[in-house]
């Protein structure tokens, strides 16, 4: 029987096959007419879920996300989500851990961010003043934009080491299709600010970052893969080839107990509520700045 079911997007398929070493019988929810080679695929979660399935891994949000999670809860299947979950018809999920639901934060596995975090904690850096994060995620519509903004919100609060007090959101839909551009301006206790930008690109896993402190600044970009190896032919090879999302997937599936993510004051409620999602809808519909308090 299948042990692992994965809900993934097209741009993630290039590395999904590498997960066969964790579960040779994994099934991917894939709605395209072209089935990827060497993968067992299903059109919907109901078709993939069978006796013996222990985990369903959501790597991308789909319109059926709430219904799919409700199905998993009904059948006692553990849910591992790389982003927030919406409020389902069965009511608000107050405690995702007790409900067998893990909302992950893949950015915590990003080597450039971890180096930036280590730099922030040095006395010479001083106190954080401003943080900027630019990523993709807006190429697949509302839900992918929501996930990217939520990841940026959680990361910014952790990086600035202060609870968010309020935020302002602007959203623009690009063209007739599902291309979204969103900017979230944050204010945290102590006076520091942050800017989270989601562009209409498909991959939200890599991010450009700038952190300014009272003692200096540090930055990373999407081409930064960390340590490199200079081979005998003079070529440069990255030693950290996996993306943060890939690292999170492996760490989550290989661990019997997931390390709890940091609790970011009352803003942590955005992991299991539609507050941010509804704000994105309002900002896009009216073309005006929406304030979150």
pLDDT in tens, 25-42: 778 886 566 666 667 888
Average pLDDT rounded to a whole number, residues 117-141: 93
pTM recorded for the entire structure: 0.85
Report all structural domains of the chain as residue ranges with CATH numbers, in order of start: 4-103 (3.40.50.720), 106-241+263-292 (3.30.360.10)
CA atoms of 148 and 27, how far apart (whole Å): 25
Structure confidence at residue 192 (pLDDT) = 96
- 146-179, pLDDT tens digit by residue? 999 999 998 998 899 888 888 999 999 887 667 8
Half-sphere exposure of 161 (CA within 13 A, CB side): 11
Residue 121 near residue 161, CB atoms below 8 Å: no
């Amino acid at each position: 029987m299948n042990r692992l079911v994965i809900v993934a997007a097209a741009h993630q398929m290039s590395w999904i096959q590498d997960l066969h070493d964790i579960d040779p019988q994994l099934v991917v929810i894939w709605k395209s007419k072209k089935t990827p080679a060497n993968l067992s695929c299903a059109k919907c979660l109901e078709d993939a879920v069978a006796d013996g399935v222990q985990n369903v891994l959501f790597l991308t949000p789909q319109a059926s996300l709430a219904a799919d999670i409700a199905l998993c809860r009904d059948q006692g299947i553990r849910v591992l989500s790389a982003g927030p979950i919406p409020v389902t018809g069965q009511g608000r999920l107050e405690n995702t851990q007790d409900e067998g639901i893990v909302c992950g934060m893949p950015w915590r596995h990003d080597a450039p961010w971890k180096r930036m975090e280590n730099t922030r904690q040095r006395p010479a850096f001083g106190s954080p003043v401003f943080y900027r994060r630019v990523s993709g995620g807006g190429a697949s519509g509302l839900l992918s934009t929501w996930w990217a903004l939520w990841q940026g919100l959680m990361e910014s609060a952790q990086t600035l080491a202060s609870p968010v007090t309020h935020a302002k959101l602007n959203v623009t839909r690009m063209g007739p299709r599902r291309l979204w551009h969103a900017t979230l301006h944050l204010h945290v206790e102590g006076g520091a600010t942050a800017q989270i930008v989601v562009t209409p690109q498909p991959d939200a896993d890599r991010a450009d970052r700038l952190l300014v402190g009272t003692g200096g600044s540090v930055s990373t970009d999407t081409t930064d893969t960390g340590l490199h190896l200079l081979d005998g032919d003079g070529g440069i090879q990255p030693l950290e080839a996996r993306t943060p999302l890939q690292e999170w997937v492996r760490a989550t599936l290989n661990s019997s107990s997931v390390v709890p993510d940091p609790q970011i004051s009352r803003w942590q409620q955005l992991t299991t509520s539609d507050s941010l999602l509804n704000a994105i809808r309002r900002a896009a519909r009216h073309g005006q700045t929406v304030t979150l308090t």
